[in-house]
């Protein structure tokens, strides 16, 4: 059964000038960890705001827990947890006060649902009397997650929860999400980081308000249509220019230590030919290897 | 109800933790009440006068001593050159010139008639007008004195004369502060209501906390009430401090009328002004915007409220604007109850108008407030 359903949702801003969400449809199953992956400005936050009843769609329907986001917004507000991309707890209240406050506005208490947030809250406990504005970025995220969970929501919406958080905290955060999933909470999370995509059960790749692909990360990778190669040499920037002007190469993008390329004619011959060309151009330490694509490769492929 | 209680507790916690807001709420009003009424004084004193005396007679001396002894005038210069006196006016050292012609005494006695010349620097209209009037009054009193001395009083007054004696009611000593303090009290309460409540709501928008609140089951009316009530209480608190502490102990103003009536009107007025703050907050997304809009309204409300200038003497169009200004009614009522001891039947109409303001401003604000965009 699907917990979150979107049907042809359209949202425009500035009287139709800016199309933020363009005919988006997808479903999130009960107890699923679903990722919405896309660059900044792709329309992720607009989708979240529509699903959390903060924004009215121009057309299309959406439901959360079977409740319509427009008609039954009151029921949705009781049952979902939302963590906006921007830290939006009361900075002048302490950690404990924030948690208590959000528990009481949902007509519950911290003790009642403590088991749900316990694993996260123990890390915050030493700072419970500190004002939330004075916490570090990672701690703020954890507190925000606690506050979004304290009323035991059935669906959790996390809008870019790991943006601006260090690598260690990010990893911890995803561990927590896995733990929550085991409690049966449906989680919809958005992120601009492609490496986090593999941590979700299913992902939707979104670009300019349109969904490009929805599947499990493995499936999306499998659907990559060509063989992907990584190439490296001593002068990477010259190499990039050279590869891009080479007629043999179909696509070429810079990926950290390597450039990822695909060939026009995908065979051994063109690989050898490329190495030969590079050697003639006096590149040193040339390395060419076949690799399995990442989500980011798929994303870039779909974008073009 | 329970939710409202939690929201209120949160609001008060936040207000009392705000290190810049707290002094604004509690210290600023007292300082303003101490400074403004003393500074904003309409009584014109210490007018600098230059006297050009071409006569040097006993009579001219008598006139000069009458002028300087009146308390209104400060003798800036005494000489016999009008040119020199005019220079003093030009350099702003003197406000008035009184020129006594040659043969002042002689002509007055012989021909029963003499002319004096008064020149006034009219850049400051109030000072010039009042200075000229004071001087004319002194001269005419002096004139009467001389007449009494020289003319034999006829048995019957040949011409019917009306003598005017006036008595000042409600403020017998024409103490300007009695007029100003209640007005400034009203202004302070207005500031708290319009500024602080509006800014507080917009702050939640600006920081983003309203996003988190909007996805909770908190109802619109609960959120709004939780914002209004604390400032309503603070407004009443400030008013009380001003009335019982500053007005009574510093200025000696004891309300003549019923305190209950005063407080009920003030409570109603606070609801209307909080509605204004709320309305402004629904139109703005940042505190800066809210501040600018409120500033615009507050300035107009202050200047057109009858605080400094009587609204009855305004041109008709301005009078109409002043009548659309809630502050006008509140200042009027505070003055009426505190100074005159007006009763409910005197301010029935004011009550009615304020109820209208409260309903209009709050209704409009609530209609305009949206949890969903």
* Together in a domain, B322 and B183: yes
Q: β-pairing, A287-291 with A228-232? A: antiparallel
Percent of chain A with pLDDT over 70: 100
Answer yes or no: is B345 within a domain.
yes
* Together in a domain, B238 and B327: yes
Answer yes or no: is B2 within a domain.
no
State both tokens at A64: 């959360």
Answer yes or no: is B314 within a domain.
yes
* Together in a domain, B197 and B240: yes
pLDDT at B154: 59
Q: Does the pLDDT at position B136 exceed 90? A: no
* Together in a domain, B219 and B362: yes
The separation between CA B366 and the C-alpha centre of its own chain, rounded to angstroms, equals 33
Answer yes or no: is B65 within a domain.
yes
pLDDT at B151: 66
* Together in a domain, B100 and B188: no
B18: nearest CB among A80, A92, A107: A92
pLDDT at B157: 61
Q: What is the mean pLDDT of residues B269-291?
A: 92
Would an 8 Å CB–CB cutoff place A74 in contact with chain B?
A: yes
pLDDT at A97: 93
Q: Which residue of B has its CA nearest to A147?
A: B212
The string of pLDDT tens digits covering residues A111-156 is 998 988 888 899 889 998 999 989 888 889 899 999 999 999 999 9
* Together in a domain, B65 and B199: no
The whole-model pTM stands at: 0.78
Query: Who contacts B170 (Cβ-Cβ below 8 Å, separation ≥6)?
Result: B339, B340
Q: Does the pLDDT at position A14 exceed 60? A: yes
Q: What is the mean pLDDT of residues A11-35?
A: 90
Would an 8 Å CB–CB cutoff place B19 in contact with chain A?
A: no
Count: domains in chain B: 2
Is B215 within 8 Å of A107 when comparing Cβ atoms?
no
* Together in a domain, B247 and B316: yes
Answer yes or no: is B66 within a domain.
yes
State both tokens at A263: 């060939």
Mean pLDDT (chain A, rounded): 89
Under the banding of pLDDT at 50, 70 and 90, the label for residue A296 is confident
Mean pLDDT (chain B, rounded): 86
> A interface mutation test: which of B1, B216, B219, B285 has the most A CBs within 10 A?
B216
Q: What is the mean pLDDT of residues B336-345?
A: 90
Q: Does the pLDDT at position B127 exceed 90? A: no
The string of pLDDT tens digits covering residues A38-85 is 888 888 999 999 999 989 999 999 999 999 999 998 899 999 999 998
Handedness of CA B135, B140, B141, B142 (dihedral sign): positive
Answer yes or no: is B252 within a domain.
yes
pLDDT at B195: 84
Between these two residues, A204 and B111, which has the higher pLDDT value? A204
A105: nearest CB among B210, B218, B371: B218
Region of residue B294 (phi > 0: left; psi between -120 and 50: alpha; otherwise: beta): alpha
Is B209 within 8 Å of A90 when comparing Cβ atoms?
yes
Mean pLDDT comparison of B33-47, B75-89, B225-239, highest-scoring range: B225-239
* Together in a domain, B98 and B233: no
pLDDT at B305: 87
* Together in a domain, B102 and B189: no
Between these two residues, B357 and B81, which has the higher pLDDT value? B357
pLDDT at B158: 61
Concatenating the DSSP letter of every residue in B288-350 gives HHHHHHHHHHHHHHHHTTTSSS-GGGS-HHHHHHHHT-HHHHHHHHHHIIIII---GGGSHHH
Q: What is the mean pLDDT of residues B150-155?
A: 63
Percent of chain B with pLDDT over 70: 94
Is A90 within 8 Å of B14 when comparing Cβ atoms?
yes
* Together in a domain, B203 and B305: yes
* Together in a domain, B264 and B125: no
pLDDT at B153: 60
The string of pLDDT tens digits covering residues B229-257 is 999 999 999 899 899 888 888 888 888 99
* Together in a domain, B184 and B85: no
ipTM for the complex?
0.77
Q: What is the mean pLDDT of residues A208-233?
A: 88
Answer yes or no: is B27 within a domain.
no
Answer yes or no: is B242 within a domain.
yes
> B interface mutation test: which of A64, A87, A90, A96 has the most B CBs within 10 A?
A90
The CATH number given to whatever domain includes residue B82 is 3.40.1710.10
Domain that holds residue B362: 176-372
């Amino acid at each position: 059964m699907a917990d979150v359903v979107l049907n042809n949702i359209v949202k425009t801003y500035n009287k139709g000038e800016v199309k933020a969400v363009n005919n988006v449809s997808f479903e999130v199953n009960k107890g699923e960890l679903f990722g919405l992956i896309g660059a900044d400005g792709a329309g992720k936050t607009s989708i979240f705001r529509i699903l959390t009843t903060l924004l009215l769609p121009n057309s299309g329907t959406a439901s959360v827990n079977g409740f319509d986001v427009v008609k039954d917004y009151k029921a949705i507000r009781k049952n979902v947890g939302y963590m906006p991309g921007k830290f939006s707890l009361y900075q002048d209240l302490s950690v404990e006060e924030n948690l208590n406050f959000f528990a009481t506005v949902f007509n519950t208490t911290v003790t009642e649902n403590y088991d749900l947030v316990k694993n996260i809250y123990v890390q915050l406990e030493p700072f419970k009397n500190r004002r939330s504005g004075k916490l570090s970025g990672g701690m703020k995220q954890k507190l925000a997650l606690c506050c979004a969970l304290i009323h035991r929501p059935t669906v959790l919406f996390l809008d870019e929860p790991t943006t601006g958080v260090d690598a260690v905290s990010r990893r911890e955060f995803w561990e927590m999400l896995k733990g929550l999933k085991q409690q049966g909470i449906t989680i919809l999370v958005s992120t601009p980081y492609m490496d986090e995509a593999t941590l979700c059960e299913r992902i939707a790749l979104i670009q300019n308000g349109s969904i490009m692909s929805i599947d499990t990360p493995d499936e999306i990778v499998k659907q990559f249509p060509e063989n992907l190669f990584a190439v490296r040499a001593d002068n990477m920037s010259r190499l990039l220019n050279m590869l891009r002007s080479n007629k043999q190469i179909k696509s070429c993008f810079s990926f950290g230590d390597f450039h990822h390329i695909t060939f026009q004619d995908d065979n051994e011959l063109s690989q050898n030919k490329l190495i030969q060309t590079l050697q003639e151009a006096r590149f040193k330490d040339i390395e060419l290897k076949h690799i399995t694509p990442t989500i980011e490769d798929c994303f870039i492929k779909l974008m073009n | 109800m329970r939710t409202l209680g939690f929201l209120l507790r949160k609001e008060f916690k936040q207000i009392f933790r705000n290190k810049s807001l707290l002094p604004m709420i509690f210290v600023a009003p007292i300082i303003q009440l101490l400074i403004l009424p003393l500074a904003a004084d309409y009584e014109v004193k210490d007018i600098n006068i230059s006297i050009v005396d071409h006569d040097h007679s006993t009579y001219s001396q008598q006139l000069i001593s009458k002028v300087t002894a009146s308390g209104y005038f400060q003798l800036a210069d005494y000489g016999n050159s009008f040119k020199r006196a005019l220079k003093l006016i030009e350099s702003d050292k003197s406000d008035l010139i009184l020129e006594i012609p040659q043969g002042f005494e002689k002509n007055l006695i012989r021909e029963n008639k003499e002319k004096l010349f008064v020149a006034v620097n009219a850049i400051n209209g109030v000072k010039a007008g009042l200075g000229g009037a004071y001087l004319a009054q002194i001269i005419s009193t002096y004139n009467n004195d001389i007449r009494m001395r020289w003319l034999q009083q006829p048995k019957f007054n040949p011409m019917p004369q009306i003598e005017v004696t006036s008595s000042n009611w409600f403020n017998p000593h024409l103490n300007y502060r009695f007029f100003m303090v209640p007005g400034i009290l009203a202004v302070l309460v207005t500031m708290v209501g319009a500024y602080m409540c509006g800014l507080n709501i917009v702050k939640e928008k600006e920081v983003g906390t309203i996003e988190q609140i909007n996805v909770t089951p908190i109802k619109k009316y609960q959120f709004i009430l939780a914002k209004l009530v604390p400032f309503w209480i603070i407004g009443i608190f400030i008013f009380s401090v001003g009335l019982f502490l500053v007005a009574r102990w510093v200025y000696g103003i004891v309300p003549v009328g019923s305190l209950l009536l005063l407080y009920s009107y003030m409570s109603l007025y606070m609801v209307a002004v909080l509605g204004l703050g709320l309305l402004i907050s629904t139109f703005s997304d940042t505190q800066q915007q809210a501040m600018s809009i409120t500033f615009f309204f507050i300035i107009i409300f202050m200047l057109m409220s009858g605080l400094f200038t009587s609204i009855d003497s305004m041109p008709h169009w301005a009078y109409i604007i002043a009548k659309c200004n809630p502050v006008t009614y509140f200042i009027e009522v505070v003055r009426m109850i505190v100074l005159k001891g007006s009763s409910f039947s005197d301010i029935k109409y004011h009550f009615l108008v304020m109820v209208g303001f409260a309903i209009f401003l709050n209704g409009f604000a609530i209609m305009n407030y949206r949890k969903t965009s």
